[in-house]
Structure 1
Amino acid sequence: MAYFVLPGRGKRVYRLALARRIVDGTARGARDRSAAGLARRRTRVLRRAMRPSRRLQIGLGPWLRALPARLPDPALTVALAKLEPGVRVAYVLLHIEGMPRFAVRDQLIELRVRRPWQVIEAADAVEAPPSRRPARFEPVPVRPVRNRSVLPLVTAAALTAVLVGALVVTERPPAAPAASLRLVTAAPDAWRTVRSLDAWPARGDLVRDDVFLREAATAWAAETGADRPGDAAQLLYAGRAAGGPLAVMRSGARLARYTPAGLEVRLAGADPAAPIALPGGRWLLAPWDAAPETLDGAALAVRDGVTAPVAPATPCGRGPLFHVGSRTVGALGGPRAPVLAYRSPDHRTTDPRSLDRRTSGAAPAERLGPAGRDFWNRLGCLTAERDRPVAEAVAWDFWAGRLPHGGGRADWTCTRLAFADGTGSSEAMLLTRAEPIRTGACDVGRPVSGTWWTAPDGARRYLAAAARGLTPHADGGLRTRTEGRLLVGTSPDPGGAVRVTARDRDR
């Protein structure tokens, strides 16, 4: 277990020597051969192997001379080296030791591994390479290696450190107090096996600046009250994205951006791929999204996962941003960039089974074409900024044409926002040349909407429209006529309540 859980650095002989030294260190004085005693020893071995002390690498000679004749196939070691320590432990316990999942979960909790079930799922997803030799060692009786005591060496090193510290004590600033909130980071390659926000690695040129990160953690702990032992936040970015130092941290659905000027905490959800807004129009991308493109199809520069400055072509700063793979993301005022989708007036759908469940009506994401970009540039500034983070947004321009009695060209749209918490909201708007008219909620799967409208001649009329393949029907004592797919109604008492529904055209 120690051999496979150790980080994959250095030659195999040194790795095995270090593993055996760890096991020997737990053997001395361990006379309890009960199940509970062996479980405690296993926990000590795994804890030391997950993050071995540098002290254990000093004086490995006796253990190098006691190596077995055969070592396991290196292929599995190379594969496990790419995983974070908790996933390595789970893999070894599940697939080498053959422990049941519930026992592995209990062991991970004992090792203080966060989200044990997610770690177990990540271990199950590991594709082990074919091995020429068994993964386990051949069973041979071994005794702890006897070696000379390292106490004289440790004592000499400690005395030297004290003397050097006394010489330079006047030159060093006082140590900053420890932050009450721990900052944790995902393994650099964790995202290759788990596509989640938890697997985003920490990026930026300040990820090793302990002083700055301590300031960021302390600021968030003071803001949120996260000062209990064990409280932790995930570090996503620490660098100079816009010139000054910036740290981006998250805990659950909350996202924090820290600069020396202050701290900003917002709800951001746990969408695994939505880019995160940084100052200066830059965006932090998911680690698997490495080749974004501008809306014109040109490559968008990326460094440390951060894009070059890019902004919507709108006066309000909301609208399409750039392409990432098969989707187009945009800014809608929140801390993350949602996926934008567009449906033209010619789009027809009457089969709810073909609709995407997350947006309750958006088809699978595809890049916005010129018409979609132009429409979202127009619609972005009309979409109200929400407190909740938006994960996806679809706009269906379900009717376009000329309004009667000189009303000019207009578009009727149904916009559906899917939030990161799984909820959503929808709104219909009649976009006239004068101003938009908000016409209530809509069903983006079968859009239909109606409203009272004042024509240029001063008369009040009721307008209703539905998507292609549907016919609007109004109940409310109106005299109606249909112009194409637009229903026009009049009443002696304009402004009264009207109920509008959509019917299939073939009925």
Structure 2
Amino acid sequence: MQSQDVAQRPSEPADSASPAGPVVDVEQAEAALVEHYPRLVRLGYLVLPPTLGRSRRVLTAHALTQRALPRQQAPAPVIPAQSSGPGSDPGYALVRLQVVRAALQAGLPLRRKAWPRRAQLPPLLPQVWGLKLFPRPGGADELALDQKLSALSGAGRAAYALRGLDRLPDGEVRRVLGEAGVDDPDAALAEADSVPAEYKLLESSEFDPCSLQARPTDLMRRRRHLKVALAAGAALAVCGMLLALPGDGWGPDGAAAPPYAQNPAAQAALDPGRLTRVSPTAWKTSARTDFSVWPARGSLVRDEALLRRALAVWARPGEAVKVSHTPGTPTGGPSGPPQLLYAGTIDNSRVVILYDGLRIVRYAEPRKGAGGAALDFARVDGAGRAESGAVVLSRTDGNVRYLTAPWVRRAGERDLRSPGGGVMDLELTDGVTAPLASPTLRREGCTSWNVLQLTDGTGARLLTDLGELVPARLTAGPPGAPAEASRARALRTWAPYACSLGLLRSAGVRSVNAWAYAHQPLPDSDDEATWLCTRAETWRGEGARVLAQFHTPRGRFGAVAARAESVPACGPRKPQVLAGVLWKSPKGSWYLLAAGGPGTTSVKATGGIEASAEGRMLTAKARRGAQADLSATLEDGDSLRGLR
């Protein structure tokens, strides 16, 4: 959407302050500006037009705020003092008014026959060469709010920001906008009413121009336009600065990038002394049973130097840090002091596990040397007891170690390909498992699929490593009432299809359910094939992956007949499914075999094969390589398309 800043044009008021109000000294205004600088810059950033781009909005917001300091004493704006908060300070009210006025002027279009105003020009200071600076990304809610605000005029955004940041009532918002030169403050308030009052989101990193991340500008354009001498001089200057830095290995901030300006909340989040530590027995009495009640474990939970490095690298990972994250997981720094789950030495690494209510973050550094730090993110919002049973601590030499929940009584390893093979116990030491073979690190073919079995007071559960920080939970049965995959019948269901889990690696999978939805007689044979649907739910709530698989008694593995993504099939909301496969009988004849789930009354094939059948199964002669479109009719009269 294009910004509507032209709809309301702030005019330059003849008198922006009342002569009867209190007089503000330059020193008083400077003190207010310094004290509330992050809030003022955030306000300017929100009011500035989105068409400027995030990088220019950041620099312009800082420039407008720094220019808000008056050159001499000035009368305070006509705004009734609040009982508390920054609005009760006349100095703050004055500089806030200047920031809002300048930000509104910056959104006005340039005119041919008029000199541009200072706020409409790119700021001379601050200036950054060769980098684009922009706030760290927030979550989906912050992105949606940013899109809604971009559709408002500058005055509408100013009204929303004054309500949200300073908690001003509408009467005071009208006065501020009027003093800033807005012709119709009531229209601006009406615009702000069209956006949900999610004011808490305004405090996130998405709208914080004081907590930034950097990216390079257009490198090819710089190469074409910069002179060789200037580039060489800049390179020499940078090299000189790097050579002057002390090489202290794992110093205070370790592999973190150089620090930047931070607000007090961000600084508090990086203080290891403020980390949240939960009592070892909290989970026994808590109404919640998830990561929030995990105690801090490990031999290094009091190593403040290690914890400081982990927090610093999380906030600003350096170029040498290897960063990974599951799809849909934000990688920004912590918004407040996170919870410590583990700090200790595993294999040849020092590992720290942190939790901020939305994400599990794993920091690892080698025990010796000053290189090779790694930072991994995994989204775990909404995790319950079943999904918060374990976190990956390390992967080494084809093996994986887990940190288990405090309520886990027993851990074991079993081969999902061998349902009758039993469970091999794994030693638990302070919640850390002995190493077990990881199927994701295997180099040879899929002859086995090792999974982790955890037993607690409510039963046994199976978790599988899919190459991510949090293992995926395995279940089996109808989508409306799946059972744990550790049960004997579920193990037999999973056995032919275990290796298909390899198709779900690194997809942010939360859980995978296997459902044998049909058994179909095979033509020219006395055997019966099984149709199975596996549905992988993701942590982000979208992008679920569905596989329809076909297995005959003579085959070792199930064959993937169809797959789809972001569809409701095989899920609790819409369990119906339809899939087909070309199959060669023992006599050498080719057939189209198709089957639907319960509630299917007829199946039809069109295109390369024309056939239909009453009931939930279709068997039709076909030729090798033929293709067909499948459709079905359900008991309620709805139609169903086949998975492809």
Q: TM-score, normalised by structure 1?
A: 0.53
1:480–1:490 Cα contact (<8 Å) kept: no
CA distance 1:400–1:371, change in 2 (3 Å): same
1:478–1:491 Cα contact (<8 Å) kept: no
CA distance 1:278–1:404, change in 2 (3 Å): farther
Compute the displacement of 1:283 (Å). 1.4
SS at match of 1:443: coil
SS at match of 1:381: helix
Distance of 1:227 and 1:494 partners within structure 2: 53
CA distance 1:364–1:374, change in 2 (3 Å): closer
Q: How does 1:126-205 map to 2 (within 5 A)?
A: 176-177=251-252, 181-183=270-272, 184-188=275-279, 189-191=281-283, 192-193=285-286, 194-205=288-299
The residue aligned with 1:461 is 591
CA distance 1:462–1:301, change in 2 (3 Å): same
2:496 aligned with 1:378: yes
Q: How does 1:222-233 map to 2 (within 5 A)?
A: 222-223=316-317, 231-233=336-338
SS at match of 1:203: coil
CA distance 1:310–1:471, change in 2 (3 Å): farther
Compute the displacement of 1:309 (Å). 2.4
Distance of 2:412 and 2:465 partners within structure 1: 19
The residue aligned with 1:59 is none
- Identify which of 365, 368, 374 aligns with 1:259: 365
Q: How does 1:78-477 map to 2 (within 5 A)?
A: 176-177=251-252, 181-183=270-272, 184-188=275-279, 189-191=281-283, 192-193=285-286, 194-223=288-317, 231-251=336-356, 252-260=358-366, 261-270=372-381, 271-272=383-384, 273-279=388-394, 280-295=399-414, 296=422, 300-311=426-437, 318=449, 320-325=451-456, 326-333=459-466, 334-343=468-477, 361-363=479-481, 365-366=483-484, 368-383=486-501, 384-400=503-519, 403-405=522-524, 410-423=529-542, 424-432=544-552, 433=555, 436-441=559-564, 442-444=569-571, 446-456=575-585, 460-467=590-597, 471-474=601-604, 476=606
SS at match of 1:245: strand
Compute the displacement of 1:204 (Å). 0.8
Distance of 1:495 and 1:369 partners within structure 2: 38
Q: Deviations over 1:271-312 (max 9, x none)?
A: 242411122422112222233455536654322111222346
Compute the displacement of 1:263 (Å). 0.9
Compute the displacement of 1:336 (Å). 1.5
Question: Which amino acid in the other structure matches residue 259 of structure 1?
Answer: E
Compute the displacement of 1:406 (Å). 5.6
Compute the displacement of 1:203 (Å). 0.8
Aligned residue pair count: 321
- Identify which of 618, 622, 626 aligns with 1:487: 618
Percent identical residues: 24
Question: Which amino acid in the other structure matches residue 592 of structure 2?
Answer: Y
CA distance 1:381–1:452, change in 2 (3 Å): closer
1:439–1:449 Cα contact (<8 Å) kept: no
Q: Deviations over 1:86-137 (max 9, x none)?
A: xxxxxxxxxxxxxxxxxxxxxxxxxxxx9xxxxxxxxxxxxxxxxxxxxxxx
2:391–2:471 Cα contact (<8 Å) kept: yes
SS at match of 2:314: helix
CA distance 1:481–1:362, change in 2 (3 Å): closer
Question: Which amino acid in the other structure matches residue 277 of structure 2?
Answer: A
CA distance 1:466–1:474, change in 2 (3 Å): same
Distance of 2:250 and 2:362 partners within structure 1: 25
Which runs of no fewer than 5 residues in structure 2 stay unpaired? 1-82, 85-199, 201-247, 255-266, 318-322, 324-330, 367-371, 415-421, 637-644
The residue aligned with 1:98 is none
Q: Which moved more, 1:280-289 or 1:218-227?
A: 218-227
1:339–1:365 Cα contact (<8 Å) kept: no
The residue aligned with 2:629 is 497
Compute the displacement of 1:393 (Å). 1.6
CA distance 1:415–1:226, change in 2 (3 Å): closer
Compute the displacement of 1:429 (Å). 1.6
Question: Which amino acid in the other structure matches residue 464 of structure 2?
Answer: A
Distance of 2:485 and 2:630 partners within structure 1: 38
SS at match of 2:620: strand
2:453–2:486 Cα contact (<8 Å) kept: no
CA distance 1:286–1:387, change in 2 (3 Å): same
CA distance 1:282–1:431, change in 2 (3 Å): same
CA distance 1:411–1:217, change in 2 (3 Å): same
Distance of 2:282 and 2:486 partners within structure 1: 31
2:461–2:474 Cα contact (<8 Å) kept: yes
Q: Deviations over 1:463-483 (max 9, x none)?
A: 11234675552253733468x
Q: Deviations over 1:393-451 (max 9, x none)?
A: 21012234553246976431111122223343322122353871332454255444232
1:319–1:379 Cα contact (<8 Å) kept: no
CA distance 1:290–1:472, change in 2 (3 Å): farther
Compute the displacement of 1:240 (Å). 2.4
Distance of 1:175 and 1:331 partners within structure 2: 34
